[in-house]
Amino acid sequence: MEYKPLFESENPLTERLGEAFFDELPKVPGIYKMYGSAGRLLYVGKAKNLRSRLLTYRRARPGRESRKVIRLVRMIHALELEEHPSEEEALLRENELIRDHKPEFNHAKKQHEAYYYLVFREKTSKIITDLRMHVREDEKEYTFGAFKGHVTVRRGLGGLLRQLYIIEHNITKPFELPSQLLKKLTPLHYELSIDKLTGSDWMDSVRLFLGGDDSALLFKIMEHAREQKLLESFIGKVILKDMEALKFFFDCCCRRNFEINEILNLDSALIPQEKLDDYLVQWAFARDD
């Protein structure tokens, strides 16, 4: 089969949009909307400097940019700009447009309804965890989130459940773990039988961890592993790998949500899925002030 490049060495944007379009580009924050044939919205982007950002598309060439960018450039027939007073406002507008229109080439921020809520509750002699896409009224008091990042959340929860199982059952070998907890991504629903952990300060530490208040749970897990000499056993590698996943989950999900609530002074610890991307923008800029 003969290979056909997405376009030859000449970038088509200058011919399609005109020299004057690029000459007059403003050097201000804003968003840009790229349209294909028949006015189809292909991509929405934001820029701190619209001129600098859009000139990178004009200079795009096969071999220098990803095939996705080259394919996008080939499909552009019109480009629309919106100027904004600040980069923060441009980001918020970008979020809004992506949510509303779900452009073909925008992959991030398109599916806020898929951000996880994590349910962690104790019942008689067991812990029940669920990852949900919505909040149930009768579960609000033990629900955390919404959290962004499927892999981060599921690996973090998997690490948490494995470590609680190790502590509860005093195991020293990975093959003694339940098969469901040996998977790369933890199940969406899991029930962990417990006895000695019931009503203990371990459960308080878990709740503080998931709420982003305190990461002391990580130190408790490592302290237990050292006391039981587990780091020298076959299960030591599992523990250390889980600690990395838990630390990342805490920093990027639990603690970040806690800080969003603190900095933005929100009414509820539970963050609505459709608000999370906007809150992340406001949180990031508030931290820089």
| CATH (domain of 41) | 3.40.1440.10
Selection from 17, 44, 21 nearest residue 31 by Cα: 44
Lowest mean pLDDT segment, chosen from 3-7, 111-115, 141-145, 191-195? 3-7
CA distance linking residue 156 with residue 253, whole number of Å: 10
Q: Residue 146, preceding bond cis, omega within 30 degrees?
A: yes
The rounded distance, in Å, linking the Cα atoms of 17 and 284 is 35
pLDDT digits (tens, 9 = 90+) for 142-177: 999 999 999 999 999 999 999 999 999 999 999 999
Domain of residue 96: give its range: 13-101
Q: Is residue 8 part of a domain?
A: no
Query: Does residue 152 share a domain with residue 124?
Result: yes
User: Are the C-beta atoms of residues 43 and 34 closer than 8 Å to each other?
Assistant: yes
Lowest-pLDDT range of 91-100, 145-154, 199-208: 199-208
Q: Is residue 141 part of a domain?
A: yes
State whether residue 234 is helix, strand or coil: coil
**Amino acid 2: pLDDT:** 45
Confidence of residue 1 (pLDDT cuts 50, 70, 90): very low
Is the same domain home to 56 and 123?
A: no
pLDDT digits (tens, 9 = 90+) for 3-13: 445 555 578 99
The confidence score (pLDDT) of residue 200 equals 76
Q: DSSP labels for 36-102?
A: -GGG-EEEEEEESSHHHHHHHHHT--BTTB-HHHHHHHHH--EEEEEE-SSHHHHHHHHHHHHHHH-
